[in-house]
Amino acid sequence: MAEPHTPKHHWARKKERGSFILMRFTALIARHLGRRILAPLLYMIVFYFYASDRRGRASIRQYQRSLATWSGRAELQPNHRSVFRQFMAFADCLLDRLDVWSGKLRLDQVSLDDPHDIRTRLLQSRGNGRGQILVCTHMGNLDVSRAMAELGDQVPLNVLVHTHHVGHFNRLLDEAGERRMRLIQVSELDTAQMMDLSQRIERGEWLAIAGDRVPLHGDRCVEVDFLGHTAPLPQGPWLMAGLLRCPVNLMFCLKVDGRYTIHLEPYIEGESWARGQRDATIQRWAQGYADRLAQRCLEAPAQWFNFYPYWKTPATETEHAR
Amino acid sequence: MNDLERDIAQLIIDTLSLEDIEVSDITPSMPLFGEGLGLDSIDALELALALQKRYSIQIASDSRDARQHFTNVASLAAFVEAQQTACAS
């Protein structure tokens, strides 16, 4: 599996904290003991992560410093407390994820910020019309976006992921009685798979894909300026948008003042690239996404959940240049 | 060049907006990648999607097989024909 040139600290190398086993374990506890008892336990676990994960702390510190400098808001500069708060926000998010999965957090408890009425577009895909792409981000609560499946009523939502645990998660979805949402493992530019996705779009199905994490074995990255520093982003969502020539919408789900809001915004209206402009077009789309991402980070600074070195540092530039 | 080959050559030009090239510039045996038309893997994907739509064919095999079919216009034509026969029977 391992490639010699794979960056050592890639996110996929880390045990993802919201991993299946942890979810399974906490789900079990939550079912039998309830959130009130689980909460202190989970906070202890997260405290352990905070105390033991130096790289995670440094990464969050770097994120907070960049955000503060980029926005010119000095109160966002990191200190021990603010870094710890970011970890705690993640614990809180995990608890909410459990509520999503156990059906306690339902769509009617989530606000929808949809000024361009993307929900109507979603509903119109049913039966006739083409599907579209939703680009999501690892900030706030991605699981709440499961409510999107509910929003879409009968419109199938395919979530494209890099994980090998697709089978597990689909089982979890089945157990939760969720039949409209499916996880699909995507690998590097597979022709047959792209044809399958294309047919899904033509059938009116929607695709959801994360725009903020670089695939482990992929060298299809694009460099953008994010919060004032160079960061690699995946080309995947933008390649797909250009190839399938379908509209792209951005989705963010942030918790502000104790309430989740799903923000939907149209981003690309199904254009493709002109000959010879492909790389430039992908670069432009990725940069525009990074700019939106930066704005959303300001709305909920503590909900950035990428606990690994996100930016390139000059020293490792060649090491990571893949 | 037969009708199907001409059709595919036109599809390649249209799909990839190859402005300086006409159907008569493309020969059936001209390589699509590298030296010939200079296409890359993303172009191949675009082409595959266009072929799928135009001829209602499937490229279900792994990418190694697909690469064979995408050698030149002649191999693509042979592939499309084989697929259509397979679907018709």
pLDDT in the model for residue A316: 46
Q: Are B23 and B9 in contact (CB under 8 A)?
A: yes
- Assess whether pLDDT exceeds 60 at residue B62: no
Q: Which of A214, A261, A205 is nearest to A236 (CA)?
A: A214
Q: How far is B15 from chain A (nearest CA, A)?
A: 10
Please tell me which residue of chain A has the smallest CA distance to B43: A243
Assign A254 a pLDDT band (cuts: 50, 70, 90): very high
Question: Which among B49, B70, B76 is the top mutation candidate for probing chain A, defined by the most A β-carbons within 10 Å of its own β-carbon?
Answer: B49
Question: Looking at the partner chain, which of A198, A275, A278 has a beta carbon nearest the beta carbon of B19?
Answer: A275
| C-alpha–C-alpha distance, residues A64 and A302, integer Å | 9
Q: How far is B88 from chain A (nearest CA, A)?
A: 20
- The reply to whether A220 touches chain B by the CB within 8 Å rule is no
Least confidently predicted of A5-9, A156-160, B67-71: A5-9
For tokens 């993303």, name the residue.
B42
- The reply to whether A198 touches chain B by the CB within 8 Å rule is yes
Assign A321 a pLDDT band (cuts: 50, 70, 90): very low
Which positions ≥6 away from A38 have C-beta within 8 Å?
A26, A29, A30, A95, A98
Q: How far is A282 from chain B (nearest CA, A)?
A: 12
Which CATH number describes the domain made up of B3-88?
1.10.1200.10
Query: Over A158-221, what HEC string results?
Result: EEEECCCCHHHHHHHHHHCCCCCEEEEECCCCCHHHHHHHHHHHHCCCEEEEECCCCCCCCCCE
Beta strands A229-234 and A221-226 are antiparallel
pLDDT in the model for residue A22: 63
In whole numbers, what is the pLDDT of chain B averaged over residues? 86
Q: Which of A90, A118, A120, A96 is nearest to A109 (CA)?
A: A96
Q: Give residue A221's identity as a one-letter amino acid code.
A: C
CB contacts of B61 in chain A (<8 Å) are 192
Phi, psi of A3 (to 5 degrees): -100, 145
| C-alpha–C-alpha distance, residues B74 and A309, integer Å | 49
For tokens 């993640």, name the residue.
A90
Whether A243 and B62 lie within 8 Å, measured CB to CB: no
Question: Looking at the partner chain, which of A189, A190, A195 has a beta carbon nearest the beta carbon of B49?
Answer: A195
Average pLDDT over residues A281-305: 95
Q: Look at A150 and B80; give whichever has higher pLDDT.
A: B80
- How many Cβ pairs closer than 8 A exist between chain A and B? 42
pLDDT in the model for residue A313: 66
Please tell me which residue of chain B has the smallest CA distance to A188: B63
Whether A189 and B62 lie within 8 Å, measured CB to CB: no
> What is this model's ipTM?
0.80
Which positions ≥6 away from A18 have C-beta within 8 Å?
A94, A97
- The reply to whether A192 touches chain B by the CB within 8 Å rule is yes
| C-alpha–C-alpha distance, residues A304 and B2, integer Å | 58
User: Which tens digits make up the pLDDT trace of A56-93?
Assistant: 999 999 999 999 999 999 999 999 999 999 999 988 88
Question: Which among A186, A194, A195 is the top mutation candidate for probing chain B, defined by the most B β-carbons within 10 Å of its own β-carbon?
Answer: A195
Bridge-partner residues for A182, per DSSP?
Answer: A158
Task: Using a pLDDT cut of 70, give the percent of chain A over it.
Answer: 80
Please tell me which residue of chain A has the smallest CA distance to B70: A191
- Assess whether pLDDT exceeds 70 at residue A243: yes
Q: How far is A2 from chain B (nearest CA, A)?
A: 21
For chain B, first and last CA: distance in Å?
26
Whether B62 and A192 lie within 8 Å, measured CB to CB: yes
Q: How far is B1 from chain A (nearest CA, A)?
A: 26
Whether A275 and B66 lie within 8 Å, measured CB to CB: no
Assign A121 a pLDDT band (cuts: 50, 70, 90): confident
Coil, strand or helix: which one is B71? coil
User: Which tens digits make up the pLDDT trace of A5-18?
Assistant: 445 566 555 545 44
Assign B39 a pLDDT band (cuts: 50, 70, 90): confident
- Assess whether pLDDT exceeds 90 at residue A250: yes
Whether A190 and B42 lie within 8 Å, measured CB to CB: no
pLDDT in the model for residue A286: 97
pLDDT in the model for residue A106: 75
| C-alpha–C-alpha distance, residues A289 and A178, integer Å | 30
Question: Looking at the partner chain, which of B16, B19, B45 has a beta carbon nearest the beta carbon of A191?
Answer: B45
Q: How far is B28 from chain A (nearest CA, A)?
A: 22
Q: Look at B85 and A303; give whichever has higher pLDDT.
A: A303
Burial class, B89, CB count within 10 angstroms (exposed 0-12 / middle 13-18 / buried 19+): exposed
